[in-house]
Amino acid sequence: MKAVLYDAPRSFAVQDVPLPRPGPDEILVKVLQSGICGTDLHIHEGQFFAEFPLIPGHEVVGTVEAMGAEVVGFSGGEAVAVNPNINCGHCEYCRSGRTLLCPNLKGMGTNWPGSFAEYLTVPYQFGYSVEGIDPDVAVFAEPASCAMHSLESLDLRPGVTALIFGSGPTGLLLAQLLVHGGAAHVTVAAPTQFKLDRAKALGVDQTVLLDRQDPQGTARRLREISDGGFDVVVEATGSPEVGEMCVPLTRNGGTVLIFGVTRPSDRVSFSPYEVFRREITIRGSFAEINSFAAAIRALRSGRIRTTGLITHRFALDEYAQALKTLQTDRSAHKIIVTV
C-alpha cells in the first residue's frame, strides 16, 4: 500500500509499505480521507512525541475492511472514525481514572502508524461508527473531540462570557460548543477576516480582527467590548505573543485555557500577583481520550457544524503540497488528504 513515511524529521516520501494485518482484537480500516492540522507541522519538525520511522495522520474517516477474530460491534464496510490516543491502562494515572495524563500514551500518527496511508490497523475499542454521517463531517471527529474535552475541562457556569483567540477549525469547533454549552456570549478574535466570517456563520456572537502589529490596540478594544474582561479566555493559536494577552483580559475569578499547540521552548509571562489577587485559574487542555463518542454525537446532531471549513483537498501523493499549503497559504482553513 501507499503511505507517507518519515525516516527522520522533515524527511519523508510517499512510498510503498507492507499492508498491515489486523491482530485478533484489531480492525483494518480502509482510509477514505484524513485531515491535516497544525500538530502535523510540529510532528514534521520532530516534536510532539514523534518517533521515527513514522506514518503521520490522526484525523481519519474510513471503512472497515477486515476484522480480527475477537472484534465485536463492527461489520464489514461500516464507516468509522478512530480515536488516535491509547493509554496503557496500568500506570498510576490510568488506574486513578486520569487516562490522558498517562506517561505511556500512544498517539496515532506520532508514535504509532497513522492515517496518511491507504490502510491502518487499530484496536477495535478505539474505532467509532460514523455510519450515516457525511465523510466531510465525520473527518472532524478527532478535532471535535479535542474541543469537547476542553468544554468538559472548563466546567462552565451558565451565563459566562468567553473569548477565543484563534479561528482555526478546532477553535471554531470549541466556539460552537461554548455557544451551546452555557456561555451567554462568545467572541472570537483572529487575524484572518474570512475565518472570522466563517465564525459568524457558525453562530459566534461577535468577532474581532486581531492586529498582530498592534496587539495592545486589539486588547484595548476587547476590554472595551467586554466591559473589563471575559470569564473565560481561550488561547487557541499556539502563539506565545497571543498568550501574553490572556491573563489581563480575564475577569476576576475567571479562567485562562491554553488550547493551542506551542513549541516546547515557548514561554509566556504573566504577573503572579495578578493571578493571586484576582484568583484567576490557568488550565491546559491537551488532546482527549474519553470525549470521542460525545463529539460524534454533537456532529451527528448538528450541534457542531463544519460547513465551509474545508478549503483544500489533496491526494495522498500530494502530501508535500498539502503540508506547504498549511504552512504558507493564508487562504487555507481545513485541508483534507484523500486516498
How many of the other CB atoms lie within 10 Å of CB of 320?
13
b vs e for 198-210, b when ≥16 Cβ sit within 10 Å of the residue's Cβ? bbeebebbbbbeb
First and final CA of the chain: distance in angstroms?
Answer: 11
Q: What is the pLDDT of residues 261-319, one digit of tens each?
A: 998 899 999 999 999 999 999 999 999 999 999 999 999 999 999 999 999 999 999 99
- SS3 state at 225: helix
Q: What is the pLDDT of residue 7?
A: 97
pLDDT(214) > 90:
no
Range of the domain at 266: 149-284
**Same domain (yes/no): 230, 279:** yes
**Same domain (yes/no): 136, 165:** no
Going by the DSSP 8-state scheme, the letter that residue 124 receives in this structure is G
Pairing mode of beta strands 26-36, 59-67: antiparallel
Residue 298 lies inside a defined structural domain of this protein:
no
Q: What is the pLDDT of residue 215?
A: 84
**Same domain (yes/no): 68, 193:** no
**Same domain (yes/no): 48, 74:** yes
Mean pLDDT of 22-36: 98
Q: What is the pLDDT of residue 210?
A: 93
Residue 89 lies inside a defined structural domain of this protein:
yes
Mean pLDDT of 7-30: 97
**Same domain (yes/no): 26, 120:** yes
Q: What is the pLDDT of residues 36-52, one digit of tens each?
A: 999 999 999 999 889 99
Q: What is the pLDDT of residue 213?
A: 84
pLDDT(212) > 90:
no
- Write down the H helix ranges in the chain: 38-44, 92-95, 135-138, 141-154, 169-180, 193-201, 215-225, 240-243, 272-277, 292-301, 319-328
Q: What is the pLDDT of residue 228?
A: 85
Mean pLDDT of 178-199: 96
- Count how many domains the chain has: 2
Torsions phi, psi for 300 (to 5 deg): -65, -35
Q: What is the pLDDT of residue 209?
A: 96
- pTM of the full predicted structure? 0.96
**Same domain (yes/no): 177, 196:** yes
**Same domain (yes/no): 204, 262:** yes
CATH of the domain at 278: 3.40.50.720
